[in-house]
Structure 1
């Protein structure tokens, strides 16, 4: 892995300041799995005293996107990436520390290899599940990432 959690969090400070100020932090990254945490605080709450859905979305997206960025960088190719679609479900109020985990990193290399071989854009769906400190699922996000070679 070319990207470490601490380097990525520094990147987030400069390039994703709203996520950084809301407390979104990459805790662990490897080829197939990334873990992101965010703690419910005053700055990221909604009027119902739980974490705003968009903050959960930032953390969930980061758990998928960090692996995408890392593997694109590792490939050595100039590849653009973009979320084309996403959906989410919410099953419990998000309070306390929420941990988002994505274990779909193994899908990325195949998409990169196909994009490079064919020159055509590729899409993959990646899922991130957010759980509270008790291990209860509070939200599940799905992101359709698109990648293509830059001209």
Structure 2
């Protein structure tokens, strides 16, 4: 009942924070908010505050990495849930280019949804591990507009969960 009253972005934010609380405490600690989540695009906002900033008063690089992980992982989780719930995900590698200091609330955007959806279907059909590099761009809209402050390439690795034989 309460779920019907909440706007979609609030439901998504609650999901991310609950997932962080239960599974990835670092994610819960940085308090991400979902700005937009569709099958094509995910935008996550991470606030600049006492918990997330460094000694230069900009977003700590660990927080930047967690934000990129959240944006790339959330869109993949959404597509797995709706397409093939029997697929598990993990990030295989991670590359980052820090272009400017993130001196405000930072938005992490991943627009690789269509490619991720195809990868989910491929992993579910083949049963083999399938990989794809997804790109996440970090911006600080209040300070630098749409100019990137960091770019991340994460290799998403998906595989169909194996069926365990039932014990009598």
1:36 has 2:47 as partner = no
Structure 2, unmatched stretches of 5+, are 1-7, 163-168
2:13 to 6, 14, 17: 6
Q: Number of residue pairs matched? A: 150
Structure 1, unmatched stretches of 5+, are none
User: SS of the residue aligned with 1:8?
Assistant: helix
- Are the aligned partners of 2:76 and 2:113 in contact in 1 as well (CA < 8 Å)? yes
Greater mean alpha carbon deviation, residues 56-65 or residues 15-24: 15-24
Q: In 1, Cα distance between the equivalents of 2:31 and 2:161?
A: 32
TM-score by length of 2: 0.81
Aligned to 1:63: 71
Which structure is richer in relative contact order (CA contacts within 8 A, separation 6 or more)?
Answer: 1
TM-score by length of 1: 0.90
49 and 104 in structure 1: CA distance in 2 versus 1, 3 angstrom threshold: same
- Are the aligned partners of 2:47 and 2:104 in contact in 1 as well (CA < 8 Å)? yes
- Are the aligned partners of 2:94 and 2:154 in contact in 1 as well (CA < 8 Å)? yes
Cα displacement string for residues 66-96 of structure 1 (whole angstroms, at most 9, x for unaligned residues): 1111111112441111100110001111111
Q: In 2, Cα distance between the equivalents of 1:25 and 1:80?
A: 23
Q: In 2, Cα distance between the equivalents of 1:60 and 1:111?
A: 19
User: SS of the residue aligned with 1:70?
Assistant: helix
- Which is richer in strand? 1
2:151 to 132, 140, 145: 140
Aligned to 1:22: 30
Give the RMSD, CA atoms, in angstroms.
1.9
Q: In 2, Cα distance between the equivalents of 1:117 and 1:16?
A: 29
User: SS of the residue aligned with 2:51?
Assistant: helix
Structure with greater Cα Rg: 2
